[in-house]
Each structure stands twice: as C-alpha cells, then as structure tokens.
Amino acid sequence: MDGFDSSKGIFMLGATNRPDVLDKALLRPGRFDRRVIVDKPDLKGRVDILKVHAKNVRMDETVDLDAMGLATSGAVGADLANMINEAAINAVKQGRKAISQADLLEAVEVVIAGKEKKDRILSAVEKKTVAYHEVGHALITALEKNAEPVQKITIVPRTMGSLGYVMQVPEEEKYLMTKDELITRITTLLGGRAAEAICFDTVTTGAANDMEKATALARAMVTQYGMCDSFGLMSLEKNEDTYLTGRTSLNCSDQTATKIDNEVNALLKACYERAIKLLTENKDVLAKIADYLYEKETITGAQFMEIYNEVKEQECSISEKN
C-alpha cells in the first residue's frame, strides 16, 4: 500500500469475509479508511432485493413480496435470487405464464430444505413417528406464548435429508430475543423428541439436528448472553468469525469449561422436562393432530389451529359438565 503519490486520484477497494484475520497494518488509518459492512439483509432489505430479482419475472396478483420477506429471515441476496428462479421454474413446469405466491413459498422450502422427495417411501411406523415428532414441535409453539406462529407442518421427505418439518413465520422481524423466548425456542426444539418418548416409549435418531440447535442456543445463553445464574454477567466465549462460520472460542479455565457443560446440560434437561410435561398434559390433541398429519402429509398452520381449538373446546365442555 506504500508508494502511492497522494496527489494522484487512485482509490482502492477491497472486500473480505474474514476481517478478523487481516493484517493489522492494512487497517491502520490512511489505508482502508471507510468500511462498508454488508451483513445479511433485514426485512426491508430482503423485500428490496426480492423486488430487484422480481423485475424481469412475470408475477400474478397473488404475489406478496412483503410476506415473502417475513418468511425468509436469515436468507442472503443469493438465496433470494435463487428462490425467485425456483419459483419461475415451478410455474413453467406447471404450464403457467406467471409466478404465484404459492410458487414463491414452495421455492423458499426448496432453497432451505431441498425438493420434495416423493419417491422415498417411509414405513407406516416411521411415518407415524415423524408425524408425532413434528406435531410435538408445533404443539409446544401453540401452548407457549413466546413462540412464533406455525405456518405449515409437513412429513414429506426433502432431498436435503429432512423427513419433515414445521415452518414458523414470525409476525414481525426481531433483533433481540428475551430469555423467555430463548427458553421457549429450546423447549420447542426438544418437543419432537419429547413427543416420540411420550407416544412410542422409545426415541429415534430423528432428533439429532434439533439437539444440535438446542445445545448451541443453551450454550450461548450460558457463555455469551449472561443468562445463567451461576456465572452472572461473565462473558465466557468470544465470537471469532462473525461472517462465515460463527466459530467461537472459550476464554476461561478448564474447570469453568466443565461447569459450563454442566449448566448447559441442566438447562437442556429443564427444557426437555417442560416439553414432556406440556405434551403429556395435551396428549389427546397431540394424537389427534398427528393422526391427521399422518393422513394428509402436509397441513397448514390454520388447519393445525382448527383441530387444536376443537379439541380444547371439547375438553372445556367436558370439564364444565363434570
């Protein structure tokens, strides 16, 4: 960077995903003075990006890009471009001349979870287990007040390996999460395993990904967010690579690391026990919705809530009669 004559009109641009490993000398004043941080887009950003990619694609009157923005939290520009493209492919395949909102929502799932793998035939027992597992997740969100509403539940396997999933769409984009919301999130993640344990008296490998996510959240609560009483406000883990991997490193003694593991384990255990309690108390509604899902394979959040409210009303009228 040395050797440039400051009277010449040269400016230099650089881009990196790893600002953390840049030579400190490069970052001294007079080198790269202005930094433009390009983070994942927020809701408004996603809607604007969708508009750019939607410009040259024909869309019908059902399309609502604001709703798409809400459903794509965490997606980057390339994902969004890919979604519009997938939606267009879907419309063309079905012989239509314009993209509909349904094409777009299907495209979100294709990009996140892969295409539907209709030729994978699950045995009746496996299919039933997946149905109860997914409804376990969804039911916790309906029973807990801090959860995001369910948009869709499906047990059609997808090419990226999932056998089913619950799609949740927030009512608005949030930048902060409260402790209660995080605990509800972990409880929801463990709800799938809890439903298996309650209804089949055994557990399957299906919860591996849920456990991974739940553990990461619980760990961050203990080490980064100061949400664990025994460590108070002590920061125990540092984020080393915010942009790419999100890798963290512990900055504490080995004894503390052991204590962290114990705290994380206790937190997960408490959430799992809460999931078991909630689902045991609502076993009837769990079974009813899971059987319906087993039959239909995909249900909407509205259908889910309809059965939920129906069973709840019946329970109320029975207890009133008694």
Active site residues: 134
DSSP one-letter code for 42: -
Contact present, 84 and 103 (Cβ < 8 Å): no
Q: What tokens does 247 get?
A: 């890798």
Distance CA 236, CA 220 (A): 9
CB of 128 to Zn ion, least distance (A): 15
Query: What are the backbone angles phi and psi of residue 32, rounded to the nearest 5°?
Result: -95, 95
Q: Which is nearer to Zn ion, 109 or 210 (CB)?
A: 210
Contact present, 197 and 275 (Cβ < 8 Å): no
Interacting residues toward Zn ion by CB under 5 A? 192, 210
Which residue lies nearest Zn ion, judged by its C-beta?
192
DSSP one-letter code for 178: -
Q: Which is nearer to Zn ion, 65 or 190 (CB)?
A: 190
Q: What residues have CB less than 8 Å from 244, skipping those under 6 apart?
A: 17, 18
CB of 106 to Zn ion, least distance (A): 21
Contact present, 58 and 279 (Cβ < 8 Å): no
Q: Which is nearer to Zn ion, 157 or 192 (CB)?
A: 192
CB of 169 to Zn ion, least distance (A): 17
Q: Which is nearer to Zn ion, 91 or 214 (CB)?
A: 214
CB of 138 to Zn ion, least distance (A): 10
Partnered with residue 298 across adjacent β-strands are 154
Query: What are the backbone angles phi and psi of residue 229, rounded to the nearest 5°?
Result: -60, -40
